[in-house]
Structure 1
């Protein structure tokens, strides 16, 4: 059997953690994936993987083999790309994952421009605010805002999203507009964000004249997705902080009102992230550069 193919299949099994996930990502039958790894082990006369009913773990010899062959496979990809027209005309399937509001309001509306430039790229776009394991899920890159949790990944900062504190006119008519962040502790109702990964509530942050406040406040609703936050604000459920590009259109239409405007709120950094050990192919590079361009020219996102 083809040795290079066997090496690629072995590497994908290591990254995916199971033969089933590896087969799905490679679009191969599971039996073929299993057979290729078995032939590789027979050729090397070394056990590369420990198999259980649920998961595959790498033996010490397998880990050493993966480290060396992954570099070799990346070099082969580089050679092939340099000898073809891939750099001039990126093509193929690209798997990306994008936060819900960024997908709906920035990336997807601009995709006609992307396809005019790169008509041969097929995008599989996951849309969610949940954390994604790029290696296990076989995702080429993700766009995420906030603090980076996985320091081993390669991250490029492509923008800073200002946060605005807003409420609906109906809420303000019923409860008044806060004039100081401290009033959010016990005089107003907040809509909060919580971490999908840990369940921890994110505090509402305010800065003014060197004073910095973190307000947890009284809340009846916490959400973990930005579109849900906008919907809750529009429904008049409380005061909340969210990304400027999500709410400025509603502010311009009078559906939401800014409050506490004299207090600054730290902006949220936005990153495009991809695995360090994966060849940055022409199609990945094309998407990363194009996405950075969309953020750079957006009127409500800071460079």
Structure 2
């Protein structure tokens, strides 16, 4: 495929009758225009101009090539200019994969101000409990945890994931709070089975003094979604070990209470992932910047025990 610079140099030189005139129109030196035309001739395998010290004239092949281009060069330049103008305002479908509970609780509320600032962006958000393949599945970005940081991907940390023990005030009515994580065995347990591994994950809790105690309990209810686990706890069906980021609003409202305020288990970080390309799309760039800025304003310690 021929470069636009070579084609522009040929057309402007034919119109002006000289490389110097073409250079003035294109903001290039006459030598640069001459090189571009020579490269075009070499690529096409034909001579387009007859050159002399006083005159530049088209050959028969050059005349045919100029006629075949006709107004297509101007149309191509207009198309490029239009695309660049549209790119100045981020637009297009923004396909994002989000962890359901975290996405609904913390990312979805960012959508109104984001769309107010970037009205030409059309969100297509998938709430799913799995690490997606951004490149193969054509996602612009993903938000979640436990992603394999494959080559070509960039991650931006949004919030730490600390697992805490919670239950509803109604369930704890008449029951004593546990002294440490070993005391969780006294309650009905609401557990989650991993959709990826099929296993129920066990957590090692630690306190501020660095003491570690396993958070063992008996599962009386098993689900495969954090939102369902949170709702079951709110309904008073038992105690659950769940990420603080997923239940923070419930704790602030008093719908749930922390059973072990001084203990938590470390489950990594919720991050924003996107493909590292030389030219990241404008829509993805502004989304990444907007979300990261929103979480920086909250501060990471907002999500810590």
- Pair 1:142–1:222, CA change in 2 (3 A): same
| Number of matched pairs | 223
Q: Please, what TM-score do these two structures have when normalized by structure 2? A: 0.64
Whole-Å separation in 2 of the counterparts to 1:119 and 1:277: 24
Question: Which residue does 2:303 correspond to in 1?
Answer: 301
Question: Is the counterpart of residue 149 in structure 1 residue 151 in structure 2?
Answer: no
Aligned pairs for 1:149-168 within 5 A: 149-152=148-151, 153-168=153-168
Question: Is the counterpart of residue 197 in structure 1 residue 192 in structure 2?
Answer: no
201-210 or 122-131, larger mean C-alpha shift: 201-210
Question: Which residue does 1:71 correspond to in 2?
Answer: none
Pairwise CA distance, 1:206: 1.2
Larger radius of gyration: 2
Q: 1:163, 1:244 within 8 Å by CA — same for their partners in 2?
A: yes
Question: Which residue does 1:259 correspond to in 2?
Answer: 259
Whole-Å separation in 2 of the counterparts to 1:242 and 1:117: 34
Q: Which runs of 5+ in 2 are unaligned?
A: 3-79
SS in 2 for 1:104: helix
Deviations 1:51-98 (A, max 9, x none): xxxxxxxxxxxxxxxxxxxxxxxxxxxxx79x8245631111111111
Pairwise CA distance, 1:233: 0.8
Question: Is the counterpart of residue 115 in structure 1 residue 149 in structure 2?
Answer: no
Whole-Å separation in 2 of the counterparts to 1:149 and 1:213: 28
Q: 2:131, 2:147 within 8 Å by CA — same for their partners in 1?
A: no
Q: Please, what TM-score do these two structures have when normalized by structure 1? A: 0.64
Deviations 1:192-220 (A, max 9, x none): 23322111222233112222233342112
Aligned pairs for 1:3-42 within 5 A: none
Pairwise CA distance, 1:290: 1.0
Aligned pairs for 1:34-73 within 5 A: none
Pairwise CA distance, 1:228: 1.1
Q: Which runs of 4+ in 1 moved over 6 A?
A: none
SS in 2 for 1:124: strand
Whole-Å separation in 1 of the counterparts to 2:109 and 2:278: 29
Pairwise CA distance, 1:254: 2.9
Pairwise CA distance, 1:292: 1.1
Whole-Å separation in 2 of the counterparts to 1:124 and 1:90: 15
Question: Is the counterpart of residue 187 in structure 1 residue 189 in structure 2?
Answer: no
Q: Which runs of 5+ in 1 are unaligned?
A: 4-79
Whole-Å separation in 2 of the counterparts to 1:215 and 1:252: 23
Whole-Å separation in 2 of the counterparts to 1:174 and 1:98: 38
Whole-Å separation in 1 of the counterparts to 2:199 and 2:281: 36
RMSD: 2.9
Pairwise CA distance, 1:284: 0.8
Whole-Å separation in 2 of the counterparts to 1:93 and 1:100: 20
Whole-Å separation in 2 of the counterparts to 1:124 and 1:278: 24
Q: 1:166, 1:233 within 8 Å by CA — same for their partners in 2?
A: yes
Whole-Å separation in 1 of the counterparts to 2:90 and 2:179: 53
